[in-house]
Structure 1
Amino acid sequence: MASSLTKDSVTPGTPGPEKTFFGHPRGLATLFMTEMWERFSYYGMRALLPLYLVAPGGLGLNAGTATAIYSVYLSLVYLLTMPGGWFGDRVWGPRKTVAIAGGVIMLGHLTLALPSSGTFYAGLGLVAIGSGLLKANISTMVGQLYDGPDDPRRDGGFTVFYMGINLGAFAAPLVIGTIGENVNWHLGFALAALGMGLGVIQFLLGSRHLAPHSSVVPKPLSVEEKTSTLRKAAFWAALAVVFYAIVGFSGAYTLNWILVPLTLLGVIIPVLVLTRIKRDKSLDRAEQSKMSAYIWFFVAAAVFWMIYDQGGSTLSLFADSSAENSVLGWDFPVSWYQSVNPVIIMALAPVFAMLWLALARRGKEPSTIVKFSFGLVLVGASFFLFLAPLAIADGGHKAAALWLVAIYFVQTCGELLLSPVGLSVTTKMAPVKYASQMMGVWFLAVTAGDATTGLLSIAGVDLNKTGIVAAEATLAVVAGVAIWMYRKRVKELMGDVR
């Protein structure tokens, strides 16, 4: 499949084989297809997950528990990117880590495909572990294809790679969602495994086109470090086994014994990581100042993702129970709503990029802080918009599908303002000592936001209630306005970063 997308080089002096992938190194085709199939499996399963959890033919859980499980799963995926990056750097190297991760993800989806509720949560855990391992390392390999950060093709390569993410995310709900909802839930999960399997096969076949140093372990563990790491891992694993064995044999075990610790970790670990970096006395005054500014962005991003990621849980469950999921009399599966975001991103991302360039030429491009604040305001506005279909449903009527499409549209515009800016500002403001870890820190903002949603659901908060939705919307708008009002102070803390 990758070879059909390659063409002759149009860039004189392009290193590597004669054939390239849209003018980029041939290895980009391998990574593009791997990420596309991985996102196909990930977003396909994710579109089915909350619906399966509440369905009478699924696990038959209530909406609150389903939202908690969904949120904990998402928070784990992003939390595990940090140990995933560690494995790539210290144990297996990026290439081996991605290959193993793909196998773990496929095994997880196959476990979900088994018609047994007893293995379902194990399958979710395997997918989360594999996703954390893969997500942290595949982007590293994209960067390794180029001749350093100054290679003029580098940004374009990541743009092509980003399209692979959205192609997979767009197609997944249409294929996996349709089969899962209309034919059989477990067959849908099996299709996700098939997608990941195709990704692994083409990755292994195309790995010869990757950069040679992608298979090198950058900072291998010493014998002493390996021994210490294994000893600590064995200790904590044994402690967990003993603890849950006691809880289980006592008859007190419920699902919350797993959900509560995981959600608390999703909130506590980001705080501990930021605190450790901020209190590092080896950082100079400029780096300390930038970290103080970065905390503003981090907290704001956590609020953003707390609302944004409910597009796959709160909004999806509302659509399942209270929306008229049809257009011109043609009914469609609820999971199809999850294709709205990627198709809007593919349509609007070039528009936003051209807009920033046009404004920059005139010296009027908004600053990072302003873009961030507007992103927060938009995600808050999306939940204020959500109040309309909630009111319609409270009146005993089904809300039109276009209400939900409008909500996803506003959220995606907010994402295009905040997410790329957040990635960029993370790399720019990272202290030299933590340069390789800061991208994992950025993903912890997603972890914190999703874990907060999980804690609310576990506490019995109905996230589809008008008052709660209005409160979340207000929180996001207030956070956006606060960043805008204090933009001068934040800008001072950022130093030379703009």
Structure 2
Amino acid sequence: MATSLTTKHADARQSGRASGGTFFGHPRGLATLFMTEMWERFSFYGMRALLPLYLIAGGPAAGKGSQGGGLAMNAATATAIYSIYMAMVYLLAMPGGWFGDRVWGPRRTVAVAAVVIMAGHLTLALPGEGAFFAGLALVAIGSGLLKANISTMVGHLYDGPDDPRRDGGFTVFYMGINIGAFAAPLVIGTVGQNYSWHLGFALAAAGMALGLVQFLFGTRHLDPRSSVVPEPLTRAERQAVLRKGLYWLIAAAGFYAVVVLSGAYTLNWALVPITVIGLVIPVGVLVRIKRDRELPAADQSKMTGYIWFFVAAAVFWMIYDQGGSTMAVFGDTKASGQLFGIGFPSSWYQSVNPLWIMALAPVMAWGWMWLARRGQEPSTTVKFAMGLVLIGASFFVFVVPMALSSGGGKVSPLWLVGVYLIQTVGELCLSPVGLSVTTKMAPAKYGSQMMGVWFLAVTAGDCTTSLLSLAGVDLNGTGVVALEATLACIAGYAVWMYRRRVIALMGAVR
């Protein structure tokens, strides 16, 4: 039976906050979510650091002397698969949020998600292409279930959108993400790239197991709303969902059975439809919410304003996520594997961004607060514009080492370190602010689902990258990289130009 938030629950929430202590000035439950997310991100980013390198290992795009035993794909196919995988992780955050809102509640959904993620990494640890793609699917499903709901639980810890600690809480939570992301390539990347790909994947499963244990032991510190199913499915709705799901499953199985039996199946028969779906669904979801007649006029206005943030974020993530594909392959094949005489595996490049975040996030959080006390903090729209211009600038810089290595030589790793630095500053302008503004602007009816909508911006960006790769566009070419950089800067300027209009649509949210 679904629980509801009664006065008793509200009293328990207040007493729990009073007796549970604090975590860097924030509710004690933030520590539980911080540690859970840290270990989940350790598993996720460890596997992600290995993914493009494993795909090209032994193939034509592999670096000289790199470990064999991978899937021997070219760089374009590896980029497409990597981008689709990332897109699916964030696309599945939408049904993950729906499960939190309508079936299990956020707390139970996160626990189930952790088990699915562990199973996925253990499947990746098995040899064979079939096990590899099955493992990727399980990790994507589990990550989708977890992402929206754990962020929603962070929001539950605070007293509404106007709680002054809220943005700071999401920034602290963001630090947990990046501690796990920093350590993962150093541990999982080293073991996987230098010793055994599959042992590396198994270490990712161990990381998620630690996160699950932390979560189960710390749930007493969470807000009681995290166990609530805000809008439980009725019996008729549940039957309708199961029926529609079964119809789609039968249709897909029948279609691919015909393709396989006819001998026409290639990997693109799977990659292209998924990519198109990843572009169509975000648009469809936004249209559905925007056309919901039950939403009051204030929420309708906020959703119109939110579309600006969504499109801006999609452009940002289209470039940013190439740090794990286009830039990762470049680091493996065209950047030196030594710095100051010390050798390192190319998977370590994936630790640079989280290292910069840990160094800069407290500084920027303090800077926003310092400006806020003086009434000079930039609005959310201006922060988004700054993020877009910076991500564009990072790819303008990336063009330089690409040109320097075009003759066959290898460039200094410091070029990539510098590119990641610019991207990190842009990320800190946009990503934590985007998470926070999503929880502030979300209609009550779409609480967890709106977090899924935010992650759909990543899906749209990554699917664009994948579609370009599948269409034969050389994402490793300087012309395309410069074009992407120009697009991001133009988008940033557009957001800045129309900032007053967007602010008006946001109502009281800032």
The equivalent of 2:145 in structure 1 is 133
RMSD: 2.3
Alpha carbons 2:101, 2:448 under 8 Å: kept: no
Is 1:51 equivalent to 2:90 in the alignment?
no
Is 1:305 equivalent to 2:290 in the alignment?
no
Segments of 5+ residues of structure 1 without an aligned counterpart are 1-11
Alpha carbons 1:38, 1:195 under 8 Å: kept: yes
For residue 149 of structure 1, report the CA deviation from its aligned partner: 5.7
Alpha carbons 1:326, 1:401 under 8 Å: kept: yes
Amino acid at match of 2:176: G
Alpha carbons 2:20, 2:221 under 8 Å: kept: no
The equivalent of 1:319 in structure 2 is 331
Is 1:181 equivalent to 2:185 in the alignment?
no
Is 1:265 equivalent to 2:265 in the alignment?
no
Alpha carbons 1:371, 1:418 under 8 Å: kept: yes
Alpha carbons 1:102, 1:196 under 8 Å: kept: yes
C-alpha distance in structure 2 between counterparts of 1:162 and 1:446, whole Å: 17
Amino acid at match of 1:355: G
For residue 354 of structure 1, report the CA deviation from its aligned partner: 2.0
C-alpha distance in structure 2 between counterparts of 1:460 and 1:153, whole Å: 47
Instruction: Identify the match of residue 42 of structure 1 among 37, 40, 44.
Output: 44
The equivalent of 1:438 in structure 2 is 450
Amino acid at match of 1:38: E
Alpha carbons 1:263, 1:454 under 8 Å: kept: yes
For residue 187 of structure 1, report the CA deviation from its aligned partner: 0.8
C-alpha distance in structure 1 between counterparts of 2:27 and 2:270, whole Å: 44
Alpha carbons 1:384, 1:473 under 8 Å: kept: yes
C-alpha distance in structure 1 between counterparts of 2:28 and 2:236, whole Å: 39
Amino acid at match of 1:392: L
Task: Find the residue that maps to 1:397 and give its secondary structure.
Answer: coil
**Range with greater deviation from structure 2 (465-474 or 86-95):** 86-95
For residue 31 of structure 1, report the CA deviation from its aligned partner: 2.6
For residue 340 of structure 1, report the CA deviation from its aligned partner: 1.1
The equivalent of 2:499 in structure 1 is 487
> What is the total number of aligned residue pairs between the two structures?
487
For residue 290 of structure 1, report the CA deviation from its aligned partner: 3.5
Amino acid at match of 1:197: A
For residue 352 of structure 1, report the CA deviation from its aligned partner: 1.3
Residues 420 and 23 of structure 1: CA distance in aligned 2, closer, same or farther (over 3 Å)? closer
Task: Find the residue that maps to 2:232 and give its secondary structure.
Answer: coil
Q: How high is the sequence identity, in percent, across the aligned residues?
A: 72
C-alpha distance in structure 2 between counterparts of 1:339 and 1:440, whole Å: 26
**Range with greater deviation from structure 2 (174-183 or 231-240):** 231-240
Amino acid at match of 2:85: Y
Amino acid at match of 1:32: F
Task: Find the residue that maps to 2:405 and give its secondary structure.
Answer: helix
C-alpha distance in structure 2 between counterparts of 1:150 and 1:360, whole Å: 14
For residue 198 of structure 1, report the CA deviation from its aligned partner: 1.9
Alpha carbons 2:17, 2:28 under 8 Å: kept: no
Residue by residue, what CA displacement relative to the aligned partner does 1:385-442 show, whole Å, maximum 9, x if unpaired? 0111011111221111000000000001111111123223333444455454322211
Residues 283 and 158 of structure 1: CA distance in aligned 2, closer, same or farther (over 3 Å)? closer
Task: Find the residue that maps to 1:115 and give its secondary structure.
Answer: coil
Residues 137 and 292 of structure 1: CA distance in aligned 2, closer, same or farther (over 3 Å)? closer
Task: Find the residue that maps to 1:324 and give its secondary structure.
Answer: coil
**Range with greater deviation from structure 2 (214-223 or 266-275):** 214-223
Amino acid at match of 2:328: S
For residue 347 of structure 1, report the CA deviation from its aligned partner: 1.3
C-alpha distance in structure 2 between counterparts of 1:34 and 1:430, whole Å: 24
Residue by residue, what CA displacement relative to the aligned partner does 1:98-148 show, whole Å, maximum 9, x if unpaired? 121111101100111111112111100000000011112223333445566
For residue 49 of structure 1, report the CA deviation from its aligned partner: 0.3
The equivalent of 2:349 in structure 1 is 337
For residue 37 of structure 1, report the CA deviation from its aligned partner: 1.0
Alpha carbons 2:394, 2:420 under 8 Å: kept: yes
Amino acid at match of 2:46: G
Task: Find the residue that maps to 2:264 and give its secondary structure.
Answer: coil
For residue 80 of structure 1, report the CA deviation from its aligned partner: 0.7
The equivalent of 1:476 in structure 2 is 488
For residue 292 of structure 1, report the CA deviation from its aligned partner: 3.0
Structure-to-structure mapping, 1:289-300, within 5 angstroms: 289-300=301-312
C-alpha distance in structure 2 between counterparts of 1:488 and 1:147, whole Å: 28
Alpha carbons 1:17, 1:26 under 8 Å: kept: no
Amino acid at match of 1:373: A
Task: Find the residue that maps to 1:385 and give its secondary structure.
Answer: helix
Residues 324 and 467 of structure 1: CA distance in aligned 2, closer, same or farther (over 3 Å)? same
Structure-to-structure mapping, 1:348-359, within 5 angstroms: 348-359=360-371
